Chain A
Amino acid sequence: MSDVVIKVEDLYKQYRLGLVSTGTLAHDINRWWHKVRGKDDPYQLVTGENNRAVKNDSEYVWALQNINFEVRQGEVLGIIGKNGAGKSTLLKILSKVTGPTKGDIKVKGRIASLLEVGTGFHPELTGRENIFLNGAILGMTKFEIKSKFDEIVGFSGVEKYIDTPVKRYSSGMYVRLAFAVAAHLEPEILIVDEVLAVGDAEFQKKCLGKMKDVSGQGRTVLFVSHNMQAMSSLCSRIIYMQNGTLAQNGSVNDMIKKYFDDTIALNAGKPIREYIRDAKHYGQEVRIETLACTDQAYWRDNVKIKFSATRVNKNISEIEFGFGINDSSGLRICTYESDRSFTFQNSDEVELEIALTEPKFVPGKYFINIGVRSLNRTLDHIEFGASFEVLDIDVNGTHFGFTLGSSISGYIDTRAEVVQTVSNKKSERNL
């Protein structure tokens, strides 16, 4: 077993909600008064989980609660969770940008954090000057930067503009240069937050490759992203955060799958926005109230759709539901319709969860349309009410397509295996 390089113990972080400026003096005085009398901080008593959707009376909120975990040397630890789960707060504390409220973190080795690319870039300075400035901000010495300067410029691919002020750069060039500097840091522990969301596909691939190299050299990487594909190809272990607590900690696939499954619960319950109802009279007799589906799914993995509807006009019967799936260009892929005898039975409300089992969607983004009909009359219809994304890897990390890593798109997903190769000539595929 390799060494533990980061040990997080009972970590808590509290933030104040609302306007920080008003009443700070009063709170400070009150806090000081409690301290003088040897009592606890009166504003730390607030408990309860941090759920941003639910309004809380308290002015203070726990962004992180009771976080405990360890990271071993050479591990690539992914941190996932919905927005506001506390991922970035955790990274901020780890990178010493802000301190914890309670608990501590023990670290072995030099940490470099990349919470943003191009921190400290000065628009008036040239690319060359900014490489030095940014490198130094990230903790490199002048000597280190000098020795890697050519490598950095090469990686960024902006040689031609290196003596031009960065304010003249395109945003892509800016990001390339910035990431190039960061990629050549050589800390024992690297913390990366969502920075891969920028740059074009080719550059993203380059960045991922670089991060793989870094972890291959025995360095430890902590990585936050919403890009599950990057997560599953890079990470050796994943921490799943929910509402400021560590929900689970486990193997990459289990955690990502759980995250996908949970996204439907997150999206369900949100009322449908009026503008996506495509005719005014829809929803007057039977009304679709909510519609949600899994955000992302592995290739060939189940997709769940959940919706609820209310019967406004009680005399309507023989109701049938239907939903269809369109691809991102608007082309209908498939349509499903329920039995005509389907009714609300005794209730006026219905909630259904449908699982598309072993779907054969090629990787890409899909939209769900849903409708209600009775006796060939459309009662309600929602277009593009929810969407999901199919990744180009399956649960086991196998890529879609007939050779690993190649990207294939289209409409039909069928197995393609190489059954025979003919030397020099053409290869035959079982299509």
Chain B
Amino acid sequence: MSDKQVWTEIISPQRGLFDVRLSELWRYRDLIALFVKRDFVSIYKQTILGPLWLFIQPLFTTLTFFFVFNKIANIPTDGVHPVLFYLSGITLWTYFSDCFIKTSNTFVGNASIFGKVYFPRLTTPISVIISNIIKLGIQTMLFLVVLCFLVITEGVEVKINATILILPYLVFLMAILGLGLGIIFSSLTTKYRDLSFLLQFGVQLLMYATPIIYPLSYTHGKMRLLLSFNPLTSIIETFRYSFFSIGQFDVWGLAYTTVFSVVTLGMGVLVFNKVEKSFMDTV
């Protein structure tokens, strides 16, 4: 036996900060696919309406918003039909907050599996993101159906412009932002559970700091400046702009969001990777 022999793996206390092993993640792509499938198959089992819930949730929230914010509070929607305004905002917001909250539970929620078998831990949050992208796709259909319905029945004006081509990019940006934030929180909650409480209402509050129920143009001065620091602002605004040509298309805002998201994801992966090794002892 010689020391020259080739070891395929060395298990050591600390892994290098940048030793992320993405190739390993690729080897487990089947697992990611199966996790996604599991999420879809299992979630609506033993329900009567099944996947219809995917439509019921945003529709009812939209109606609620319509009555509360539009009819009662009289908040304008920038000339966009209020139902479409809220539905677009809710669809995107649900997508982002699901990406964020569900990935933030990665370590704590999967502790029983993670404690028994090793597979790249990143497979779980990534599968959550993919499930949510599919869900977003289905809900976007709903948005389009409602849009067509309103065009036909009420003659709502739709001015689609070229920015619609960057919609996939917006979805991607939200995914990496949600994933990045989610895995950072997930890494920290293994030790400090307080954060999961903070997160729950934090995300709720964040919705009000994002132009979901009001248009950006409704804000002025300091409020507007504050909103421009929210990386989600430009995404939501761009989405609405691409369908109705109303609102704001801010290239610099999107550039800021891109940088913010990429940096967040990068930090997230590094933190996650570091915590991954020892979290079983603290979770």
CB-CB under 8 A from A113, the residues of chain B are: 116-118
Interface string of A1-26 (1 = CB under 8 A from B): 10110010000000110001100110
- The answer, among A97, A103, A120, A133, for a CB contact under 8 Å with B118, is A97
**Interface pair A136/B117, CB less than 8 Å apart:** no
Q: Give A390 Cβ to nearest chain B Cβ, in Å.
A: 34
Contact assessment for B277 and A98 in the assembled complex, using a CB-CB cutoff below 8 Å: yes
Which residues of chain A come closer than 8 Å to B113, judged between CB atoms?
A: 119-120, 137
> Contacts A98-B277, A98-B281, A125-B38 given: A24-B191 contact, CB under 8 Å?
yes
> Residue of B at shortest CB range from A95?
B118
In the complex, what residues of A have CB within 8 A of residue B282's CB? Answer: 20, 24
Q: Does B119 contact A (CB under 8 A)?
A: yes
- Binding stretch for chain B, among A138-146, A201-209, A255-263, A369-377: A138-146
Mask: chain A, 86-117; 1 = CB below 8 Å from B; 0 = not:
00000011111111111111111111010110
Q: Which of B30, B33, B280 contacts A97 (CB 8 A)?
A: B280
Q: Are A120 and B281 in contact (CB under 8 A)?
A: no
Selected from B5, B12, B13, the residue in CB contact (under 8 A) with A108 is B5
Complex Cα spacing A124 to B47, Å = 12
A242-285 contact mask (Cβ, 8 Å, vs B): 1 or 0:
00000000000000000000000000000000000000000000
- Cβ A100 vs Cβ B12 within 8 A: yes
* Closest A residue to B115 using CB positions: A97
B window 1-35: CB within 8 A of A: 1, 5-15, 28, 30-31, 33-35
Q: Which residue of B lies closest to A96 (CB)?
A: B118
A-B pairs under 8 A by CB, number: 120
| SS of B interface (majority) | loop
Write the nearest CB–CB distance from B15 to chain A, whole angstroms: 8
A100 in contact with B11 (CB, 8 Å): yes
B101-120 CB mask vs A (1 if < 8 Å, else 0) is 00000000000011111110
> Of A70, A107, A110, A119, which one neighbours B7 at CB under 8 angstroms?
A107
**In the complex, what residues of B have CB within 8 A of residue A100's CB?**
11-13
In the assembled complex, the Cα of A105 lies from the Cα of B281 at a distance in Å of: 19
Cβ-defined partner of A115 (8 Å) among B10, B14, B28, B117: B117
Across the interface, do A165 and B45 meet the contact criterion of CB distance under 8 Å?
yes
B117 touches A108 (CB 8 A): no
The answer to whether A99 and B117 touch across the interface, beta carbons within 8 angstroms, is no
Given A98-B277, A136-B34, A137-B31, A106–B10 Cβ distance below 8 Å? yes
In the bound complex, how far is the Cα of B5 from the Cα of A98, in angstroms? 25
Q: Does A365 contact B (CB under 8 A)?
A: no
Asked whether A97 and B119 contact (CB < 8 A) given A15-B281, A106-B7, A137-B31, the answer is: no
Bound complex: CA A133 to CA B281 (Å): 26
B192 within 8 A of A: yes
Q: Binary interface profile of A, 164-198, with partner B (CB < 8 Å = 1, else 0)?
A: 01000000000000000000000000000000000
Complex alpha-carbon distance, A264 and B12, angstroms: 37
CB distance B38 to A133 under 8 Å? Answer: yes
CB distance from A162 to the nearest CB of B (A): 15
Decide yes or no: A119 and B116 within 8 Å by CB, A100-B12, A107-B7 being known contacts.
yes
Q: Can you list 29 contacts pairing A with B, beta carbon distance less than 8 Å?
A: A3-B1, A16-B281, A20-B281, A21-B191, A25-B192, A95-B117, A97-B116, A99-B11, A99-B12, A100-B11, A105-B10, A107-B9, A107-B10, A107-B11, A108-B9, A109-B8, A116-B117, A119-B116, A122-B38, A124-B42, A125-B42, A129-B37, A129-B38, A133-B35, A136-B31, A137-B31, A137-B117, A138-B117, A142-B34
**Which B positions have Cβ atoms within 8 angstroms of A?**
1, 5-15, 28, 30-31, 33-35, 37-38, 41-42, 45-46, 113-119, 191-193, 277-278, 280-282
List the interface of chain A (C-beta within 8 A of B). Answer: 1, 3-4, 7, 15-16, 20-21, 24-25, 28, 70, 92-111, 113, 115-116, 119-120, 122, 124-125, 129, 132-133, 136-139, 141-142, 165
- What 7 pairs across the A-B complex have the smallest Cβ distances? A96-B118, A99-B277, A104-B12, A136-B31, A105-B11, A124-B42, A142-B30
